[in-house]
Structure 1
Amino acid sequence: MPGSPSAAPGAPGSPPTWASSDKDFVTTSLGPARLWATVGHGVINEVYWPSTGEPQLRDLTFYLVGEGRWIDLKRVRQYDLQVPAPHEPLLTVTHTGADYHLTLEVLPDPRRDVLLIRFTLSGPYRLVTIAAPHLSGTGHDNYAWVDGELFAQRHRHVLCLGADVALLTPGVGYVGQSDGWQDLVAHGALTYAYTAAGPGSVALSAELAAPHGVIALGFAESAVGARGLVRASLAEGYDAARATFARDWERWGAGLDLPAPTQALGALARLSATVLRIHEDRTYPGALVASLSTPWGNSTDTLGGYHLVWPRDATLSAFALIAAHQLDDARRILARFLATQEPDGHWAQNTYPSGAAFWTGLQLDETAFPVLLAAKLREAGAPELGGTRSMVRRALAFVARSGPTSDQDRWEENPGVNPFTLAVCVAALIAGADWLDDQERAYALSLADEWNERLEQWCYVTGTPLALEQGVTGYYVRLAPPELDGGLTGQVQLRNRQGERVAASALVSLDFSYLTRLGLRGAGDTRVQDTIRVVDALLRVSTPSGELYHRYNGDGYGEHEDGSPFDGSGVGRAWPLLVGERGHLALQAGEDPLPYLETMRRCASSGGLLPEQVWDAAAVAERGLEPGRPSGSAMPLLWAHAEFLKLLVARHSGRPAELLRVVEAHVAAAQGAAEWRWRNETPVSQLLAGRALLIESPRPFTLHFGWDGWQDVQERPATLTPFGLWSVCFEVAELRPHGTLNFTRRFPETWEGRDHDVALHHRAGQHLQHQEP
C-alpha cells in the first residue's frame, strides 16, 4: 500500500450480498487463462478466478456522469446484446438512451487472468466504473487501496483494476457508506479521494479520462502479480487477445453438429453447447459446475451457490456434449470422476472444482451416473480411459450394497426409493456389467433384474383417491419413504415447507420419466401413460412462455407468494428442464417434441441463458418478476441447457441420448428376476413364484429359520457375496414345499431381536400391488 493513505469512513460497510442470478451471459476463453465472467443487467456481475468455484467479484458497474445528471445503467436497463456467433461468446453490450450510446465488449484474455472490457461512449457524458470485490468468496474483510491502479485484497487473492486511459478521481470506500455510488448520489460526480479502506465490504471507483479505451481487471496472488498481468495485457493489446479468443472458439465450434429445425432453435442449441463448455474449469479440467451463479444471490453472501460440481448435473451435461459430438469434452468429465471417486465407490453430493467435498449427502443416482457415462463413451467409440474398470467396479459395488434406497432423492431432500434414482441404478448395473468379473457380473445383472421387477412394488400405487379423481388405475409416486417409515403407506416431509407432511401416495413428479428414458419401461405402458395424465393435471402450469412443470406438488423451493427471495422456505416455481423431460416422454410416445423445445427457448434470458426456474404467478413489477420469465433462481442452469440439447438431438435421431443399447438389449431379453433379496430397507413380505430368496446384510450373521410357523428350525451361516454383503440363499426347489419362511438373525455381538415372515407363492402370475390403505 502507498504511504499516508486517506482512510475511507464508514467501516465495515453495509452487509454484503452476491449479485442477482438474473444473468444475461457467461463467458471465458479457451486459452490457459483461468477467469470466467458473467453479465447481468448489462454490466459485469461476477468474475470467477482461479477456478469456476471461486467468485471474486460481486459486480463491475458503469455510470454516465454529465452536467447536473448521472445515469445508473444497471437500473435503466436499456441495452441489447450481440455475439459474432452462438458458439463465440464474445459479448457486446450496447446501452442506448436519448442522448448517449455506450458499447462494452467483454473479453477474457486467453493468456492471462485478466478481464478486458473495450468501451466506446458517445454523448455528453463521462464514464464512471465501480467495482465491488468479494475476494476469497465473500464481501467481508476485504481491503482496498489506490496505488496508480485500484487494488483489493483478501488473503492470497488480489484484484487490480487499470485501463489504457487515465483513471480520474480513483478512490475506494465502504459499500453503502463511502463508496462511489454514495458519492454520485450525494454530488452527481466522483469527489471522494479516499485511498484506503478495509477490512470490510469495500468498493473501488474511478472515472475514465477518455470516451473510448480498454479497462483491465486482473487477478493474482499478490498485488505485484495482479498489476503485472493488467499492464502486460494492455501492452500486448486488445486486438491480439481478441483474435486469439475468436480463433480458439471458432476451432471448437467447428466440431458441433446440431439440428436446427428453426433458426432460433439452432442458435440456442449452439449456445447451449457453448454454455456447457464455458462452465468447465481449467485449473481442474473436467469439473463442470452446475451454474456460474448463486440463486437469489442479491439476498445472501453465502459461499457455495451453484458454482459447485454435482455428479448428476455434470454427467447429464456430458451426455449433451456427446450428443453435440464433443467426445473429448465428455472424456475429461469422466477422467475427473476417475480422480474424485471416494474409496468406497461413491461420489460426494457436490464438490468444489478441486474435488474437495462441499455437501456430503448421499444420492445414489450420483454414484450410478458416472457408470452410465463410461458406457455411453464406449458405445460412442471413444478410447477407454485408464482406470475405468476399477471405477465402474467400485461404483457398482457401492450401488449394490446401498440400494435400492437412497439417503436423498435427486432433489436432495428425502430418503427412500425413488423411480429416477432406481432407474439410473438399474441401468448402471446393466451397462457396467461388462467391466466386471464373471461372479460380479452375474450378481449385478441379477440385482438389476430384481430391482427392475420390484420397481412397481416400491414406487407405484393403485386405487388411491388421486387415482380415482384422475380416472386412472394407478401412477408412479415421487418417492416411497424407507420401509421403517411406512414405505408407500407412509408420509413424506416436504422440505422448505416448515415441516409439512403429505402421504407418499399423493406425491407425484416427473422422476418416473427416466424409466422410459433409460429403456426400462415402454412409452406405451399403461402405468406410464396414466402417470403422465396425473402429472399433467397436478404439475403443469400455463405461462406466456408455454406450459411448464413443477418438480412435485407441494414444492417449497422458490420465491414466496409475494415474490420475495427463497430463504429456506417458499413456493416451488416452474422448471424449464422439466419441459424437456416431458418432451422426451412425448418423443418416445411418437409425438413431435417441437412445442416443448419452443417453450424452453421462450424461457431463456435476453442473452439465451436457460434458468433453473421461471416465475409462474402474476407479475411483481417491483421485483422484476414476469410470468414465464426467469425468476431469482440459478441462471444459467447447465442441467436445463443439457436437457434442451438432448431433446433437440433426440428429435432428430429418434432416441434419447441416455438410452444405451446394452441396456435396451438386456431388458428386451430378460425373462424376469431369478431371485429376490430381503434387506432391512426393502424386506420381502411375499415372494413371487419361481424366485430364489436371498437374505442379505452388510454384517456377517447366522440365519435362524423355520418353516410354516417355525417348524423344522435350523441355522445357516451367511456367506460373502461379490460386492461385500453377507447372504443366505434359498433356492426355488427348497422353497417350493412351504408356504412361509420364518427367520431371525444372530449377529456376532447379539441377536437381532425380531422375527420376520416371508409368504411364499408358487402360482405363476401372482403379484402384490400397493393400494391406498
Structure 2
Amino acid sequence: MSDTSTSDTSNRDASVSAPGAPGLPPSWASSDKDYVTTALNGASRVWATVGHGVVNEVYWPSTGQPQIRDLGFYLVSETGWIDLKRVREYSLSTPKPYLPLPTVLHQGPGYTLALEILPDPHRDVLLIRYSLSGAYRLVVVLSPHLTATGQDNAAWVGEQALLASRGDRSLALAANVPMSALSAGYVGTSDGWQDLQQHGRLTWSYPRAENGNVALSAELQGDAGLIALGFAETVQGAQGLVRASLAEGDEPARRSFLERWEAWGSTLKLGGSTQEMQDQALLSATVLKIHEDRAYPGALVASLSVPWGASTDSLGGYHLVWPRDTTLAAFALLAANQREDARRVLAGFIANQQPDGHWFQNYYPDGGMFWNGVQLDETAFPVLLAAKLREEGESELGGTEAMVRRALAFVARTGPTSEQDRWEENRGVNPFTLAVAISALVAGADWLEEDERRYALDLADDWNERLESFCYVTGTPLAAELGVEGYYVRLAPPDRDGALTGQVELQNRQGETILASALVSLDFSYVPRLGLRSATDPRILNTLKVVDHLLRVETPSGALYHRYNNDGYGEHDDGSPYDGHGIGRLWPLLSGERGHLALQAGEDPMPYLEAMLKCASPGGLLPEQVWDSAPIPERGLYPGRPSGSAMPLLWAHSEFLKLLLARETGRPAELLRVVEERYARPLPAQVRHWRPAAPLAHLESGLLLMVEGEGPFTLHFGFDGWQSAQDRDALPLPFGLWGVAFSAADLHSHQTLNFTRLTQAGWEGQEHAVRLGSAREEALSHQNQSGHQNQPGHQGQSGGE
C-alpha cells in the first residue's frame, strides 16, 4: 500500500480503484530516441530522454534508474483526438549543439504544439513548457515505472496533481494551469489512452490504481503553461519539489541551465571540415557529458535507453557501466581536452575494481553488479586509460599504482584467453581482446616492481609475436576465393588444453555453429590502432579485403558493417524485435573502426565519418544498429536508419568523435607512445609461456620455455618419447603464477619435450609434447598454419597438440 496521507482525492471515493488490475505486462519505451538531456552540475539528478516527439524514460536519482516509461502528449477536440507519438509530424531543435535544451515542434492540420523540455538545475524536477495553437486541448498520460519496473506500481489522484509510488521512489506531476479529468488506471484497460480510444476525450476519473502496471492522465486547461514532473523518496517530497519549481517558474531554471552548459561547451575546439561535422562533434561531446552520473561521478552508462524497450520490461537495459564503453568514452573526452572528466572515470575504476583485479562485466553507477561475466579487455582498458593520462602529463590519482598492479596480475594470470569476447558471447582468444591485453602489459609496466615488470614485458612480447598463431588463418576456402594468403579470425576457441574445437557457437542463433576459420569481424582493427602492427601490414590488408567482402553493406547512409558474419543480435526478418535471437544488423561504430584503419593507412576517413553522421536520429543521436534490409515503414525501419537497438550509444559517439579528431592529429586517441615505440619494429620474444590456453607445438631454438599454472604443481617430464623421465616442482612467479623453466641449455640436443602435471587436485590426465629446435620463422609459420586446413574440425588457432 502506498503512502497517500498527503494526497487529496477531490471529494472522490478514494477506496474505488480503477478496473482491469494489474494491466497489461509492462514494457519500456522504444529505444529509438530523438534526444537526451540533463542539467550540468547543480543539485538536479534527473536525466530525460525524448523519442517519437514525447518524453520517454526519465532517470533519477542516477543514470542507472529509469522511473517512468513515458509521458505522452495528445490533442483532443470536439471532432476527435490525435496521438502525437504515432503521427510523428514533428521537428526538434536546440539553441546550439552543446546546449541540450530541446524544443519539439509538432505541426499538423489545424494545430501546432511546442514542447520545451528543461531539467531544473536546482531540483529533481523536469519542467516542460508547452504552447498550443489550434482548436485542440492538451492531454497528458504518464506511465510510472518506479524502481525501474512497471510492476506493482501505485498511482492516484491528488489535489491538482498526479501521484505515484513504489517502495522508496515517488513522483508527482502538476502544472501552473488547472488540470481536469484527472484519473489513475491500469495500462491496457483503464488508462487514459484507452479512454481516448473509446470516447475521443477523457471521461474517466478513477481515483487510484494499485499493484500493477499503472498510468495517470489529465487534461490541461489553457493554450500555454508549464508542467513539472518531480521525483523524491516520498510523495510529500516529490510534491514539494514540483510546487517549488512551479512557484519559481522556468525562467530562472532555463537561465541557470544554459549558463552552465554554455560555460562548458563554448570552450570546446573540435574542428570538422563542414558545419554539419562540427555540429555533430559538439553534440557527440555533449552526449558523452550528459551520460556521466552526478550521484556517482565518473560513471558513464552505455546508453540512456533499453534496446527494443517497447517489447521488454527487463532491468538493466543499457543504463549500466561497461568498463570497455566507458574507457573508450574517456579516450574521446581526452581527445576533446576534457581531462577532468577522464580523471573522474579513472577514479571510478579505482573505486570499483574487484579484489582479484578485474571489473564486473557491467554494473550500476553505484558499483552494484548486474552481469558477472569476465572480459579480459575490460580489465586491461582501465590500465590504458591510466597510462594515457600519465602520457598527457596529468598528475597521478591516488590508488592508480595498486589498481594497475591488480589489473595486470589478472591479465597475466588468465590471458590470453578471455571468458567472453568484446561482444560478450564467446570464450577464446580474440584479436581485439589480446591487443588490448598486450598493450596494457606494456603501458602499465612502469607501475610494477622489477620482477613483475620483466615478467609483464616478456609475456607481452611473447603474446605479441604469437598473435598470428592465435588468430590468423591461411589456406581456407575463403582465402582462396578472395585471392589472399590469410586473415585474422574473430575468435580462436580453445578447449581446456588450447587445442582447436573446430566450431564456434553463434549466440542468438538458436544453437547454430560456424567454423572458426570462416568467422571474421573488425575485431582485428585494434591491432594497428594500438600500435602492434602497421596498418599497411599485408596481413591487415588481407583481412580488410575479407571483411569488406563479407561484412560491408552499402546503404543510403554510406558503407556500414556487421559485427561478424551470421550475427544473431538484431531484429528478425520481418522487423519484429530481437527476443533472444534474431539477425544482426549494421553497427555505425564499426564504420568508425574502419575509418581509423583508413586513417592509419594514409587515407582520408571522411567517407566513414559521413556514413556515421547520416545514421543519426533527428536530434543527432547515433544508434547501436541501423536497418539493413528492405524498408518496413509500419515498423519505422529504413535502410541505413536507426533500428530498435540502443540509441544513443555512447560507444558510437565516442568513435565518431575520436575519428574526427584523429583526422586532425593523424593518430588514434588510444595509440600510446610507449607501446608504439616498443613494437615499431619486430621485437623477438625471449621467453615462450606455455599454458593450457596458449600451448606450443614448436619451440624455437635459443628461447627459454616457461611451463605455467595458476597454482603449485609438479611437472613430470621427459625427452624424445619420455626418455630420462623426472620431476620438477613449480616455483612461484610474479602475479600469483607458478612455473617450471627450461633454459636453452636444458633443451639442447633434444627433439621433443614430453610432460604432464600433478596439481593438488591430482594428475591432469593429459600428456603434452613440444617439438624443439625449430628456427623462429619455421616455428611461427608452422603455428600459423596448424589447424588452418580446410577439413571439418580445423580452424583459427594453432598450437594444438
TM band (smaller chain): over 0.9
CA shift, 1:128, in A, is: 0.8
Of 92, 107, 110, the residue aligned with 1:99 is 110
Give 1:652's aligned residue: 664
> Aligned with 2:378: secondary structure?
helix
Does 1:300 pair with 2:280?
Answer: no
In the other structure, the counterpart of 1:671 is 683
Per-residue CA deviation, residues 88-116 of structure 1 (Å, 9 max, x unaligned), is: 10000011112111110000011110000
2: distance between equivalents of 1:457 and 1:489? 16
Provide, for residues 185-216 of structure 1, a one-character-per-residue CA deviation record: whole Å limited to 9, x for no partner.
12221111111111111111111111111100
**Selected match of 2:361 from 342, 349, 372:** 349
Q: Distance in 2 between matches of 1:706 and 1:410?
A: 40
Amino acid at match of 2:78: E
Give the alignment's Cα RMSD to 1 decimal.
1.2
SS of residue matched to 2:680: helix
Tell me, in whole angstroms, the C-alpha distance in 2 between the residues paired with 1:32 and 1:364.
37
Aligned mates of 2:266, 2:749 — CA distance in 1: 68
Worse-matched range after superposition: 599-608 or 682-691: 682-691
Match of 1:264 in 2: 276
Alpha-carbon contact 2:498-2:694 (below 8 Å) kept: no
1:10 match: 20
CA contact (8 A) 2:74 2:83 kept: yes
Decide which moves more: 529-538 or 373-382: 373-382
Report how far residue 65 of structure 1 moved. 1.1
Q: Distance in 2 between matches of 1:483 and 1:199?
A: 49
Q: Which runs of 5+ in 2 are unaligned?
A: 792-801
Matched with 2:794 is none
Q: 1:68 aligns with which of 70, 75, 79?
A: 79
Task: Report the Cα distance in structure 2 between the residues aligned to 1:588 and 1:689, rounded to whole angstroms.
Answer: 35
Deviation at 1:690, TM superposition (A): 2.5
* Residue of structure 1 in register with 2:755 after alignment: 743
1:438 shift after superposition: 0.6
The answer to whether the Cα contact below 8 Å between 2:29 and 2:309 also exists between their aligned partners in 1 is: yes
* Percent identity of paired positions between Structure 1 and Structure 2: 66
Q: Does the residue aligned with 1:355 lie in a helix, a strand or coil?
A: coil
- Alpha-carbon distance in structure 1 between the residues aligned to 2:677 and 2:761: 45
Change (3 A) 1:660 1:713: same
Within 2, Cα distance between the matches of 1:748 and 1:563? 54
Aligned length: 773
Q: What CA deviation, in whole Å up to 9, does each residue of 1:324-372 have, x standing for no partner?
A: 1101111111100000000000000000111011000011000000000
What does 1:218-297 align with in structure 2 at a 5 Å threshold?
Answer: 218-297=230-309
Give me the whole-angstrom Cα distance separating, in 2, the residues matched to 1:17 and 1:748: 51
Q: Decide whether the 8 Å contact of 1:52 with 1:281 is kept in 2.
A: yes
- For residues 108 and 671 of structure 1, the distance between their equivalents in structure 2, rounded to whole angstroms, comes to 55
Contact 2:495 2:501 in 1 (8 A): no
Does residue 412 in structure 1 map to residue 424 in structure 2? yes
Question: Contact 2:698–2:774 at 8 Å: present in 1 too?
Answer: no
Moved more, 36-45 or 659-668: 659-668
Q: Separation in 2 of the partners of 1:514 and 1:688?
A: 28
Secondary structure in 1 matching 2:526: helix
Task: Identify the match of residue 371 of structure 1 among 365, 368, 383.
Answer: 383
Question: Shift of the alpha carbon at 1:765?
Answer: 2.6
Corresponding residue for residue 535 of structure 1: 547
CA positional deviation for 1:751: 2.6
> 1:625, CA displacement in angstroms?
0.5
Note the 1:28-47 alignment, pairs <5 A.
28-30=38-40, 31-47=42-58
* 1:210 corresponds to: 222
**Superimposed CA distance per residue, residues 625-658 of structure 1 (whole angstroms, 9 cap, x where no aligned partner):** 1111000000000000000000000111000000
Aligned counterpart in structure 2 of residue 128 of structure 1, from 129, 132, 139: 139
C-alpha distance in structure 2 between counterparts of 1:43 and 1:436, whole Å: 53
Give the residue type in structure 1 aligned to 2:113: L
Distance in 1 separating the partners of 2:563 and 2:611: 17
Give the aligned partner of residue 551 of structure 1: 563
User: Is 1:495 aligned to 2:513, yes or no?
Assistant: no
What's the TM-score once normalised by structure 1's chain length? 0.99
Question: Unpaired runs of 5+ in structure 1?
Answer: none
Matched with 1:82 is 93
Could you tell me whether the CA contact under 8 Å between 1:313 and 1:638 is conserved in 2?
Answer: yes
TM-score under structure 2 length normalisation: 0.95
Instruction: Measure the CA separation in 1 of the matches of 2:652 and 2:700.
Output: 41
Correspondence for 1:626 among 632, 638, 649: 638
Looking at structure 2, the residues matched to 753 and 136 of structure 1 have their Cα atoms a distance apart, in angstroms, of 51
CA-CA distance at 1:487 after TM superposition: 4.8
Residue 688 of structure 1 aligns with which residue?
A: 700
Q: How does 1:352-751 map to 2 (within 5 A)?
A: 352-484=364-496, 487=499, 490-668=502-680, 671-751=683-763
Q: Is the 8 A contact 1:488 1:504 kept in 2?
A: no
Contact 2:497 2:695 in 1 (8 A): no
Supply the distance in 1 between the matched residues of 2:442 and 2:766 (Cα, whole angstroms). Answer: 35
2:39 equivalent to 1:26:
no
Name the aligned partner's letter for residue 29 of structure 2.
Answer: A
Secondary structure at the aligned position of 1:618 is classed as coil
The C-alpha deviation readout for 1:275-315, integer Å capped at 9, x for no partner, is 01101111111111000000000011111110110000000
| Superimposed CA distance per residue, residues 589-633 of structure 1 (whole angstroms, 9 cap, x where no aligned partner) | 110000000000000001000000000000011111111100000
Contact 1:78/1:95 (CA < 8 Å) preserved in 2? yes
CA contact (8 A) 2:494 2:501 kept: no
SS at match of 2:332: helix
Instruction: Give the aligned residue type for 1:22.
Output: D
